[in-house]
């Protein structure tokens, strides 16, 4: 029945007008129809109530009831067509009104239920048919597709009709590699052999494109718990799969980089336990990753270096975020020791506790080369030292001969005094002999020390003392060449740290050069050896009154094999500079004032050297 316009029924006023109008229409129609009998009086009214209640609801039904009852009552009852007594007619009217209420109530309730049902079904449909997922309901036995949402056509590229015709038609669209697995899983789930249904598979559409599907299902059970329907959702997860693949590829790339990068990586906690280690590090140390993970990192550190490593780790943790570098020795599983350069940085880990990231590089080769170089340098320094001593041989022999001569003379005097029985005088001579032999021994000791080949040994020294010893060795040479030496040393000690022999070698070298410079021409023959302290530096300077340095060669002076001497090796100054630099100092040349050359060596004081 399409009688009432839906627009009218959408408004309450329209619905009541509809109900009232129908009531009035029923009275009119009844008046025009030639119907007889009491019941028949109300027949059109009942029709009006039913229509009003079913299309417009309970209220309009009541209104139709009231209007028609009023109309019939007023119009027909007053005319007494059947001659029925008024009381009976009134009773009949009341009865009709009551019956109308019941009918209106009944019809309106049914209408509401229907409306609710339709609304719910509409909601389900609009949901099922608008989401991109496929919603489906299958009857289990016999297997029949009850509902599948239209997204199926888009995802599978197959028609709904085919699927309704064959409830397993969707399986035909599954990728050949996945088909058997999914079919088995679905059948097992439907028959109860499998508890749940949550699977991923690929669908190949007839046009050849592929989609990844995630399907999940639920069984709907009857009162006895027996499944009679299955429903589920199939979701397109192609995009998610693509991203997962991308993330996995990224992770694999990262992992491969981490593991294969030729740098040893460790991640340790504040206690020094290995949280993570890369494949390369484990391989270099001869372990497997699993063997080292969870172990204290100290286990792969050489025992002698463990304390230092612990300190550096603590330093890292103190200076969160700052890179700290140091060198240490690690021990491989087979006991081989390797030198590594470590760079570490502590950061706050994911759980808020600090972790230390350590990268180590094997520098064993470089260390070996360094050691070999140091050995070669020491060897060269020794050769150069002995060469310098060789240049001084004549003077040194003279220097030793002096006390020896005095000893011989004193011994002769002693013998004479003894012969004369003058024991006091004899004793005095003997004491002098003793003192001179000590002096001769001192000279020999100095020479032996300089000539000796020993590894460099750093110790606290007094720079003034070092100068005095060298001067004592060169004294004879200075005399022989008629060179006046002026020594200016402070009475206070000049504390430095270094290798005595090597530093003496440098000063001796500068002194011998100075002597040669002043004896080359007819000018004055003066050499100054001075030492002083400026703040945290000790300066030792050797100045001469010679012709000075040609400014053009000043920068070449310290190069190896550069020499101005006919028989020089050209190593003296080069070695001297490398010795001074190894002591954390500098060796430089400058013009002397008013003439000559000035060689100045600056070294950190003992206090400054310790800090550094």
Partner 1 sequence: MTSRRVPGTSTIAVVDDDASVRGAIQALLRSAGLDAEVFASAEEFLGSGRLAATTCLILDIRMPGMSGIELQERLLASGHRIPIIVITAHADDDERARALERGAIDCLQKPFDDDALFDAIGKASGAAAP
Size of the site for partner 1 (CB under 8 A): 32
403 part of the interface to partner 1, by CB under 8 A: yes
- Binding piece for partner 1, criterion CB under 8 A, among 3-11, 326-334, 416-424, 556-564: 416-424
Q: What phi and psi values does residue 141 have, to the nearest 5 degrees?
A: -140, 115
Question: Smallest distance, Å, CB 390 to partner 1?
Answer: 17
User: Shortest CA distance to 392 belongs to which of 319, 276, 477, 502?
Assistant: 477
Quick one: 3 or 419, whose CB is closer to partner 1? Answer: 419
Cα of 446 vs its chain's centroid, Å = 58
- Binding piece for partner 1, criterion CB under 8 A, among 196-204, 207-215, 417-425, 578-586: 417-425
430 part of the interface to partner 1, by CB under 8 A: no
Question: Smallest distance, Å, CB 330 to partner 1?
Answer: 60
Residues 483, 543: Cα–Cα separation, whole Å: 12
Question: Smallest distance, Å, CB 395 to partner 1?
Answer: 9
417 part of the interface to partner 1, by CB under 8 A: yes
Residue pair 22/55 in contact by the 8 Å Cβ criterion:
no
Q: Which of residues 319-348 bind partner 1 (CB under 8 A)?
A: none
User: Which tokens hold the place of 508?
Assistant: 């001796």
435 part of the interface to partner 1, by CB under 8 A: yes
Residues 340, 312: Cα–Cα separation, whole Å: 14
Q: DSSP string covering 311-344, please?
A: HHHHHHHHTTT--EEEEEEEE-TTS-EEEEEEEE
Quick one: 435 or 447, whose CB is closer to partner 1? Answer: 435
Residue 15, CB-side half-sphere exposure with 13 Å CA sphere:
15
401 part of the interface to partner 1, by CB under 8 A: yes
Quick one: 134 or 433, whose CB is closer to partner 1? Answer: 433
3-class SS at 566?
coil
Residue 98, CB-side half-sphere exposure with 13 Å CA sphere:
6
486 part of the interface to partner 1, by CB under 8 A: no
380 part of the interface to partner 1, by CB under 8 A: no
- Binding piece for partner 1, criterion CB under 8 A, among 55-63, 295-303, 433-441, 587-595: 433-441
The helix-helix angle for 423-451 and 364-391 (nearest 10°) equals: 140
Contact with partner 1 (CB under 8 A) among 51, 63, 215, 407: 407
439 part of the interface to partner 1, by CB under 8 A: yes
Residues 6+ apart with CB under 8 A from 106: 53
404 part of the interface to partner 1, by CB under 8 A: yes
Exposed, middle or buried by CB within 10 Å (0-12, 13-18, 19+), for 552?
Answer: exposed
- Binding piece for partner 1, criterion CB under 8 A, among 135-143, 236-244, 406-414, 530-538: 406-414
Contact with partner 1 (CB under 8 A) among 425, 462, 465, 532: 425
Residue 256, CB-side half-sphere exposure with 13 Å CA sphere:
6
Residues 61, 56: Cα–Cα separation, whole Å: 7
Residues 560, 557: Cα–Cα separation, whole Å: 8
User: Shortest CA distance to 100 belongs to which of 58, 38, 71?
Assistant: 58
Contact with partner 1 (CB under 8 A) among 261, 479, 563, 602: 479
480 part of the interface to partner 1, by CB under 8 A: yes
412 part of the interface to partner 1, by CB under 8 A: yes
261 part of the interface to partner 1, by CB under 8 A: no
- Binding piece for partner 1, criterion CB under 8 A, among 58-66, 280-288, 300-308, 424-432: 424-432
User: Which tokens hold the place of 489?
Assistant: 């040393």
- Binding piece for partner 1, criterion CB under 8 A, among 118-126, 473-481, 529-537, 568-576: 473-481
Contact with partner 1 (CB under 8 A) among 102, 172, 394, 423: 394
Quick one: 312 or 436, whose CB is closer to partner 1? Answer: 436
* Strands laid side by side in the 537-544 sheet: 484-488, 526-534, 537-544, 597-604, 586-591
Residues 583, 566: Cα–Cα separation, whole Å: 30
Quick one: 428 or 458, whose CB is closer to partner 1? Answer: 428
Question: Smallest distance, Å, CB 413 to partner 1?
Answer: 4
Quick one: 245 or 486, whose CB is closer to partner 1? Answer: 486
Q: Which residue bears the tokens 């060179």?
A: 483
390 part of the interface to partner 1, by CB under 8 A: no
Residues at the site binding partner 1, with contacts judged by CB under 8 A:
394, 397-398, 401-410, 412-414, 416-417, 420, 422, 425, 428-429, 432, 435-436, 439, 478-480, 482, 484
């Amino acid at each position: 029945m399409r009688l009432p316009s839906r627009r009218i029924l959408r408004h309450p006023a329209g619905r009541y007008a509809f109900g009232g109008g129908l009531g009035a229409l029923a009275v009119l129609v009844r008046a025009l129809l030639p119907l007889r009998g009491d019941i028949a009086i109300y027949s059109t009214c009942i029709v009006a109530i039913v229509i009003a209640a079913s299309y417009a609801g309970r209220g309009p039904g009541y209104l139709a009831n009231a209007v028609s009852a009023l109309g019939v009552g007023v119009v027909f009852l007053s005319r007494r067509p059947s001659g029925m007594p008024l009381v009976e007619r009134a009773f009949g009217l009341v009865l009709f009104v009551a019956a109308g209420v019941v009918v209106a109530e009944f019809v309106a309730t049914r209408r509401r239920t229907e409306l609710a049902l339709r609304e719910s079904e509409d909601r389900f449909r609009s949901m099922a048919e608008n989401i991109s997922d496929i919603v489906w309901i299958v009857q289990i036995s016999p297997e029949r597709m009850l509902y599948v949402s239209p997204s199926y056509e888009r995802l599978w590229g197959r028609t709904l009709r085919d699927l309704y015709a064959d409830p397993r038609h969707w399986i035909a669209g599954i990728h050949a590699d996945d088909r058997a697995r999914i079919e088995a899983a679905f059948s097992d789930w439907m028959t109860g052999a499998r508890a749940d249904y949550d699977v991923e598979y690929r669908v190949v559409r007839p046009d050849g494109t592929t989609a990844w599907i995630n399907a999940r299902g639920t069984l709907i059970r009857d009162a006895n718990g027996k499944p009679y329907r299955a429903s589920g959702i199939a979701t397109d997860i192609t995009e998610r799969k693509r991203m997962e693949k991308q993330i996995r590829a990224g992770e694999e790339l990262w992992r491969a980089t981490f593991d294969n990068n030729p740098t040893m990586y460790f991640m340790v906690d504040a206690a020094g336990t290995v949280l993570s280690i890369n494949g390369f590090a484990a391989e270099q140390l001869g372990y497997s990753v699993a063997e080292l993970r969870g172990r204290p990192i100290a286990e792969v550190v050489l025992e002698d270096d463990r304390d230092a490593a612990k300190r550096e780790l603590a330093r890292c943790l103190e200076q969160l975020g700052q890179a700290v570098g140091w060198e240490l020795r690690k021990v491989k599983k087979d006991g081989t020791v390797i030198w590594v350069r470590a760079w570490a940085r502590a950061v706050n880990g994911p759980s808020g506790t600090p972790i230390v990231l350590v990268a180590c590089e094997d520098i064993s080769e470089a260390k070996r080369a360094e050691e070999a170089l140091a050995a070669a340098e020491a060897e060269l320094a020794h050769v150069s030292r002995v060469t310098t001593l060789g240049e001084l041989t004549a003077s040194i022999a003279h220097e030793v001969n002096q006390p020896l001569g005095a000893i011989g003379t004193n011994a002769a005097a002693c013998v004479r005094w003894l012969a004369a029985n003058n024991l006091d005088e004899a004793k005095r001579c003997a004491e002098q002999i003793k003192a001179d032999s000590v002096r001769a021994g001192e000279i020999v000791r100095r020479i032996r020390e300089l000539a000796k080949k020993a590894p460099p040994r750093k110790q606290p020294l007094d720079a003034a003392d070092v100068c005095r010893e060298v001067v004592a060795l060169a004294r004879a040479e200075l005399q022989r060449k008629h060179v006046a030496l002026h020594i200016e040393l402070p009475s206070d000690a000049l504390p430095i740290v270094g290798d005595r022999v090597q530093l003496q070698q440098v000063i001796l070298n500068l002194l011998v050069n100075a002597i040669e410079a002043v004896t080359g021409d007819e000018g004055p023959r003066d050499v100054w050896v001075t030492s002083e302290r400026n703040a945290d530096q000790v300066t030792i300077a050797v100045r001469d009154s010679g012709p000075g340095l040609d400014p053009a060669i000043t920068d070449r002076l310290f190069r190896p094999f550069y020499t101005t001497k006919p028989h020089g090796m050209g190593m003296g100054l080069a070695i001297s500079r490398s010795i001074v630099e190894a002591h954390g100092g500098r060796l430089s040349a400058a013009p002397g004032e008013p003439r000559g050359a000035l060689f100045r060596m600056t070294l950190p004081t003992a206090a400054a050297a310790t800090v550094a």
